[in-house]
Chains A and B, each alone.
Chain A
Amino acid sequence: MTTTDLFEVAKIHRQVRDPDVAHLAIGLNKVVSRNGVEGLAVETEEVADGVNIDVTVAEGAVIAKPVHMCFGLLQEAGIQKITMRLTVEPRARLAVMAHCVFPNAEDVRHLMDAVIRVGEGAAYSYFERHIHSPQGGITVVPKADIHLARGARFKTDFELLEGRVGHIDIDYETTCDADSRLEMNAAVSGRGDDRINIREIGHLNGERARGVLTSRVAVRDDASADIYNELTASAAGAVGHVDCKEIVQGRAVAHAVPVVQVNHPKAHITHEAALGSVDSRQLETLMARGLSEDEATEVIIDGLLRST
């Protein structure tokens, strides 16, 4: 497969031809394509098992179009380690669409270690979409240490709905200063012997900081899911919500631990968690319109995973 193939699989071949769209594509441990725009500085260093990346959005810069990042490994086996430091300076704006493409994986490890700093009044959104092989021979370990300065906004969406999960171990932890906004969403669908571990933590340390952690997971066959969502509120006016829903089919197993902690009398956190089979009322409603049980189940699970 070529770099073009990588873009085709990720469905971003049109975007990366647009000179006004910044992009960075990494195959294994090589930068295979890149384009920059004003206000965005990207430095890369190729190392033996991956690439170190340093991204900075200059103070006050607004990157008008989403930046596309593509991390791929087209071989059947290998390790790709991405170490990223991303800084959005005060009052800057950045949106990133990341595509992680491993269509032939049989024995692949994709490791992402990110340090993210969102400056005062800045905004950063990160959408990460994974495309895996049907074999599930992959381990994905994304870790992120995130800090939001006063008035900063950060939203992340993680989506792994295409191909087999293999083993995924998400570990995101965010600290939030005053008036900041945090939203972390994850949607993962597992089957076969897939293993899903999601650990999302938010610390609402500043006054009026707000945070929402949302997980949507479906597990079938012999897959397993272990979800840990923790949200703490430690200042006046800090408000948060944890929302975890998991659908379990076949012999799959789901385990969820929502932890909420309030350390200030004027802070408030709520949580809701629902684990179990497909809702029988939803199922029978769709079947009463002529869908088979399998079709109705797919519609319900697909809807759940899209609802983050």
Chain B
Amino acid sequence: MNLLEIDNLGLALNGTPILDGLDMDLWEGHVHAVVGPNGAGKSTLAGTVMGLEDYRRYTGEIRFDGTSLAGLGVDERARLGMTLGWQEPARFEGLRVPEFVRLAARDKDEDAVRSCLSRSGLDPDRYWDRAADKTLSGGERKKLELASILAMQPRLVMLDEPDSGIDVESLSRIHDAIGALKAGGATVVLITHSAEVLDWAEHAFLMCCGRIVDKGNVDKISHYFKDRCIPCDHKNRPDLGQEGAP
């Protein structure tokens, strides 16, 4: 069963088409990856699905669990059960780490908040009195954002570059947290250009020039992505790359 259905999605920013007739269906309860080179439109796709202000003027149709998202704001989409983890999470002055997690949490109990921090790789004892501001590194903010998503228990999670700023030792914790989201019934979308993160998924989409140019099992997409997209010989011009495309 599809949780998210996208038909003929288009979006132009400052006159430049970023998403161009994109179609995509996400099976519920699976971990999906969207891969593609820089500038393919991956982050814009996530922002458009989430309803971010800069991406509201799209054409086409996005349905979540059968309901059209047209006209719904970010908060309304979130209350339907979807959320987004940013590539570079925001900083929050004056807000402590547990307060940030608790804002999103279904279960606001201290033990539940501690558990979410721990599962995202942040030691609750070390971070309980820390502020969610510029004193946290990029990697720490990334983990904190994941903790808040774990606490929210959404049905659809889009994670933009989930390994960005994460040290090698912590990568396995992020992988485990994504597994925990799936185990809780969530559908996960990993936006990435990392071959390693792609391997965490069960199903993948290859995106180029604002379109889905292929989809299928991870091995197939991974093989093509590693061989042809890193480096890309036709940088976001799929029309030039059709020969030998999977």
- Could you tell me which A residues sit within 8 Å of B by CB distance? 245, 279-282, 284-293, 296, 299-300, 302-307
With both beta carbons as reference points, the residue of chain A lying nearest to B152 in the complex is identified as A289
Any A CB within 8 A of the CB of B133? yes
- The reply to whether B133 and A307 contact each other, CB–CB distance below 8 Å, is yes
Interface hit among B10-18, B34-42, B70-78, B177-185: B70-78
Any A CB within 8 A of the CB of B53? yes
Residues of B with C-beta under 8 A to A279? 90
- The reply to whether A304 and B75 contact each other, CB–CB distance below 8 Å, is no
Alpha-carbon gap, A239 to B81, bound state (A): 50
Residues of B with C-beta under 8 A to A300? 92
Any A CB within 8 A of the CB of B89? yes
Give the residues from 20 to 36 in chain B that come closer than 8 angstroms, CB to CB, to chain A. Answer: none
A291 touching B53 in the complex, CB below 8 Å, given contacts A282-B90, A284-B74, A307-B133: no
Number of A-B contacts (CB under 8 A): 63
- The answer, among A289, A299, A302, A303, for a CB contact under 8 Å with B78, is A289
- The answer, among A284, A286, A299, for a CB contact under 8 Å with B52, is A284
- The answer, among B73, B79, B92, for a CB contact under 8 Å with A303, is B92
Alpha-carbon gap, A302 to B99, bound state (A): 12
Residues of A with C-beta under 8 A to B50? 284, 288
Any A CB within 8 A of the CB of B230? no
- The answer, among A281, A289, A305, A307, for a CB contact under 8 Å with B103, is A289
Minimum CB–CB distance from B58 to chain A (whole Å) comes to 16
Alpha-carbon gap, A296 to B84, bound state (A): 16
- The reply to whether A302 and B92 contact each other, CB–CB distance below 8 Å, is no
Minimum CB–CB distance from B108 to chain A (whole Å) comes to 13
Residues of B with C-beta under 8 A to A305? 94
- The reply to whether B94 and A290 contact each other, CB–CB distance below 8 Å, is no
- The reply to whether A290 and B78 contact each other, CB–CB distance below 8 Å, is yes
Residues of B with C-beta under 8 A to A302? 94
With both beta carbons as reference points, the residue of chain B lying nearest to A285 in the complex is identified as B90
Alpha-carbon gap, A304 to B92, bound state (A): 8
What is the 8 Å Cβ interface bit string for chain B, positions 58-102, against chain A (1 contact, 0 not)? 000000000000000111011100011010011111110000000
Q: Of residues A280, A290, A304, which shows the largest number of chain B Cβ atoms within 10 Å of its Cβ? A: A290
Q: Of residues A245, A282, A284, A304, which shows the largest number of chain B Cβ atoms within 10 Å of its Cβ? A: A284
- Could you tell me which B residues sit within 8 Å of A by CB distance? 50, 52-53, 73-75, 77-79, 83-84, 86, 89-95, 103-104, 131, 133, 145, 148-149, 152
- The reply to whether A284 and B93 contact each other, CB–CB distance below 8 Å, is no
Q: Of residues A287, A289, A292, A307, which shows the largest number of chain B Cβ atoms within 10 Å of its Cβ? A: A289
- The answer, among A281, A282, A290, A303, for a CB contact under 8 Å with B75, is A290
- The reply to whether B90 and A303 contact each other, CB–CB distance below 8 Å, is no
Residues of B with C-beta under 8 A to A287? 73-75, 78
- The answer, among B53, B77, B103, for a CB contact under 8 Å with A286, is B103
A307 touching B75 in the complex, CB below 8 Å, given contacts A280-B53, A288-B84, A291-B103: no
Minimum CB–CB distance from B109 to chain A (whole Å) comes to 17
- The answer, among B78, B83, B89, B94, for a CB contact under 8 Å with A306, is B94
Nearest 7 pairs of A and B residues by beta carbon: A303-B94, A307-B94, A289-B104, A306-B94, A307-B93, A287-B74, A287-B75
- The reply to whether B152 and A285 contact each other, CB–CB distance below 8 Å, is no
Minimum CB–CB distance from A306 to chain B (whole Å) comes to 4
- The reply to whether B75 and A293 contact each other, CB–CB distance below 8 Å, is yes
With both beta carbons as reference points, the residue of chain B lying nearest to A305 in the complex is identified as B94
Minimum CB–CB distance from A93 to chain B (whole Å) comes to 25
A288 touching B93 in the complex, CB below 8 Å, given contacts A293-B75, A299-B103, A307-B133: no
Residues of A with C-beta under 8 A to B92? 282, 300, 303
Residues of B with C-beta under 8 A to A289? 78, 83, 103-104, 148-149, 152
Alpha-carbon gap, A38 to B83, bound state (A): 59
Q: A287-B73, A296-B75 are in contact. List 19 more A-B contacts (CB 8 A).
A: A281-B90, A284-B52, A284-B74, A285-B89, A287-B74, A288-B74, A288-B75, A288-B83, A289-B149, A290-B75, A290-B78, A290-B152, A293-B75, A300-B92, A303-B93, A304-B94, A305-B94, A306-B94, A307-B133
